[in-house]
Amino acid sequence: MTSPFKTIALIGKHKNPDIITPLLSLGRYLENRNLEVLLDDRTAGTVPEKKYPAMTMEEIGARADLAIVLGGDGTMLNIARKLAPFNVPLVGINQGRLGFLTDLSIQTMLESLGTMLDGQHITERRMLLHVEVARDNTVAFSAQALNDVAVNRGIGGNMIEFEVRINGEYVYSLRSDGLIVATSTGSTAYALSSGGPIVHPSLDLIVLVPVSPHTLSNRPIVVGPDAVVEVLMHPNGLAHVYADSHSHFDLQEHDKIVVRRAPHTVTLLHPSNHSYYRMLREKLGWSGLPRNAA
């Protein structure tokens, strides 16, 4: 069967020698299927064999039909943000336990990829968030996030205070350790550990989850994908804003953090037998009802 993907980029966790063997195995497999193989330039620096063209993310975005990411969910988050503007589909291969985003194992990756390359796969589109920090009528910081944007107090600092508005309407003032603004993808990350709901990834929604609020009546709120969330900082000690726990910025009094849907989406491909609920059971340790004793 002819593959719908002709040029495939291989991207591995940066400076991790454990990716070399499975990456070269993938490269040989794809070559045997008469597919063109590319490496991102950072991965190429880890691989001793210089068999494949090394390219920047921008060059991969312009040329690749598919990107295969070897690593964990953190690696996938990073690559997803960079390739989102180019609409390159992503497949994730996890080196350890299966992740929420990297759901193929190294042990079965060739078998799974074979059927996926033949067109037998599930396609998911995930929304991104765009965050800006407005300070003195200028944009002091901006970033994109696939999981979440989090406003947090600094290490060792006291609770922080801020005002929250949605679509320009005042919602509440909050004293807490922070606030998480998450996508459905991020609902199983930091937001989940702070008491937020699990949101199926097929739903484009934005979840606001207070982190250890001073008032227990402050509960998570779920809003539509086109909502604009504004967080206005009150006088505080140390406070920071994070995008996917990666990009971060130190906040000051009167800074306004604006979070909205990003213009791009991320496309993830899964094997045709992929089950979101099975993954939740495995990752979260859910078990079925006990059987009756014989």
Catalytic residues: 73
Q: What angle do CA 41, 14, 97 make, to 5 degrees?
A: 130
Q: What angle do CA 167, 170, 175 make, to 5 degrees?
A: 120
Residue 90: strand pairing partners = 67, 268
DSSP SS3 for 231: strand
With CA atoms as reference, report the closest residue to 145 among 209, 74, 88: 74
Q: At what angle are helices 109-117 and 20-32 packed, to 10 degrees?
A: 40
Report yes or no: 262 and 241 within 8 Å, Cβ to Cβ: no
Q: What is the amino acid identity at position 121?
A: H
Q: How far is residue 185's CA from residue 208's CA, in Å, rounded to a whole number? A: 13
Q: Which two tokens stand for residue 217?
A: 């009546």
Beta strands in the chain (DSSP E): 7-12, 36-40, 54-55, 66-71, 90-94, 104-105, 121-135, 138-145, 148-153, 160-166, 169-176, 178-182, 206-211, 221-223, 229-233, 239-243, 247-250, 256-271
Query: Which residue do the tokens 């503007």 mark?
Result: 85
